[in-house]
Chain A
Amino acid sequence: MYQSVHTNRRDFIKKMAMLSAMTAAASMFPGIIFAKEQEEGIPAGANLDWKKAPCRFCGVGCGVLIGTENGKAIAVKGDPKSPVNKGLCCVKGYHSIMAMYGKDRLTKPLVKKNGRYVQTSMKEALDLVASKMQETIKDHGKDAVSIYGSGQWTIPDGYVASKLFKGCIGTNNVEANARLCMATAVTGFLTSFGLDEPMGCYEDIDHADTFVLWGNNMAEMHPVLFSRLLDQRLKRGVKIIDFATRTTRTSMAADKSIIFNPQTDLAVANAICYEIINNGWMNKAFVEEHCNFSKGLTKMGYGLEDNYKFTDKPESISFGDYKAFLEDYTPEKVSKLTGVSVKDIKYLAAHFGDPNKKVMSFWCMGMNQHSRGTWINNLVYNIHLLTGKISSPGNSPFSLTGQPSACGTVREVGTLTHKLPHGVVMNKEHREFAAKIWDVPVENIPSKPTYHTVEMFRALDRGDIRFMWIQVTNPMVTMPKLKRYRDGAKKEGRFIVVSDIYPTPTTDIADVILPSAMWVEREGMYGNSERRTQYFEQMVEPPGEAMSDTLQLIEVAKRMGFEKQFYYKDETHIEEIYTEYRRHHDNKKHNMAPLEVLKSQSGAMWPYVDGKETKWRFNAKYDPACSNGKDFHFYGKKDGKAIIWQRPYEPAAEEPDTEYPYWLGTGRVVEHWHTGSMTRRIPVLHQAMPHAYVELHPDDAKRLQIRTGDKVKLTTRRGEITLPASVNERGVPAPMQVFVPFFDENMLINDITLDSFCPISKEPDYKKCAVKVEKA
Chain B
Amino acid sequence: MPIKSYLVHPSEGKKAKLTQQLSIMEHCEVLPAENEEVLILVTETNSKQEEEILKEKLEQISDIKLMAMVSGFDTPKNA
Residues of A within 8 A of B (CB): 3, 6, 9-10, 13-14, 16-18, 20-22, 24-25, 28-29, 31-37, 227, 230, 234, 249, 252-253, 708, 728-730
Q: Are B34 and A21 in contact (CB under 8 A)?
A: no
Can you list 12 residue pairs at the A/B interface with Cβ under 8 Å? A13-B3, A14-B42, A16-B71, A17-B71, A18-B5, A21-B42, A24-B7, A25-B38, A29-B33, A33-B34, A249-B73, A730-B79
Given contacts A3-B78, A13-B79, A14-B3, 13 further A-B pairs with CB under 8 A are A10-B1, A13-B73, A13-B75, A16-B71, A18-B5, A18-B42, A24-B70, A29-B36, A29-B38, A34-B33, A36-B31, A729-B79, A730-B79
**What residues of B have a CB within 8 angstroms of the CB of A29 in the complex?**
33, 36, 38
Q: Are A234 and B68 in contact (CB under 8 A)?
A: yes
Question: Which residues of B12-42 are within 8 A (CB) of A?
Answer: 29, 31-36, 38, 40-42
Number of B residues with CB within 8 Å of any CB on chain A: 27
Q: What secondary structure prevails in chain B residues at the interface with A?
A: strand
What separation, in Å, do the CA atoms of A24 and B78 have in the docked complex? 28
**What residues of B have a CB within 8 angstroms of the CB of A6 in the complex?**
78-79
- Closest chain-B Cβ to A117's Cβ sits at a distance in Å of 41
Contact with A along B35-79 (1 / 0, CB 8 A): 110101110100000000000000000000000101111011011
**What residues of A have a CB within 8 angstroms of the CB of B78 in the complex?**
3, 6, 708
**What residues of B have a CB within 8 angstroms of the CB of A34 in the complex?**
31-34, 40
- Closest chain-B Cβ to A490's Cβ sits at a distance in Å of 39
Closest to A223 in B: B71
**What residues of B have a CB within 8 angstroms of the CB of A9 in the complex?**
79
Give the contacting residue for B35; candidates A13, A16, A32; CB below 8 A.
A32
What separation, in Å, do the CA atoms of A309 and B73 have in the docked complex? 47
- Closest chain-A Cβ to B45's Cβ sits at a distance in Å of 12
What separation, in Å, do the CA atoms of A76 and B16 have in the docked complex? 27
Q: Are B44 and A25 in contact (CB under 8 A)?
A: no
Closest to A249 in B: B73
Given A32-B33, A33-B33, A35-B34, the answer on whether A18 and B40 have CB atoms closer than 8 Å is yes
Closest to B37 in A: A29
Give the contacting residue for B71; candidates A25, A36, A37, A253; CB below 8 A.
A253
Q: Are B70 and A21 in contact (CB under 8 A)?
A: yes
**What residues of B have a CB within 8 angstroms of the CB of A16 in the complex?**
71, 73
Closest to A730 in B: B79
- Closest chain-A Cβ to B56's Cβ sits at a distance in Å of 21
**What residues of B have a CB within 8 angstroms of the CB of A252 in the complex?**
72-73
What separation, in Å, do the CA atoms of A18 and B43 have in the docked complex? 10
**What residues of A have a CB within 8 angstroms of the CB of B35 in the complex?**
31-33
Give the contacting residue for A20; candidates B5, B33, B79; CB below 8 A.
B5
Given A33-B34, A34-B34, A230-B70, the answer on whether A10 and B5 have CB atoms closer than 8 Å is no
- Closest chain-A Cβ to B38's Cβ sits at a distance in Å of 6
Per CB-CB distance, the 4 closest pairs between chain A and chain B, nearest first, are A17-B5, A21-B5, A20-B71, A33-B34
Given A10-B75, A20-B70, A234-B70, the answer on whether A32 and B38 have CB atoms closer than 8 Å is yes
- Closest chain-B Cβ to A2's Cβ sits at a distance in Å of 8
Closest to B32 in A: A34
- Closest chain-B Cβ to A234's Cβ sits at a distance in Å of 5
Closest to A35 in B: B34
**What residues of A have a CB within 8 angstroms of the CB of B29 in the complex?**
14, 18
**What residues of A have a CB within 8 angstroms of the CB of B73 in the complex?**
13, 16-17, 249, 252
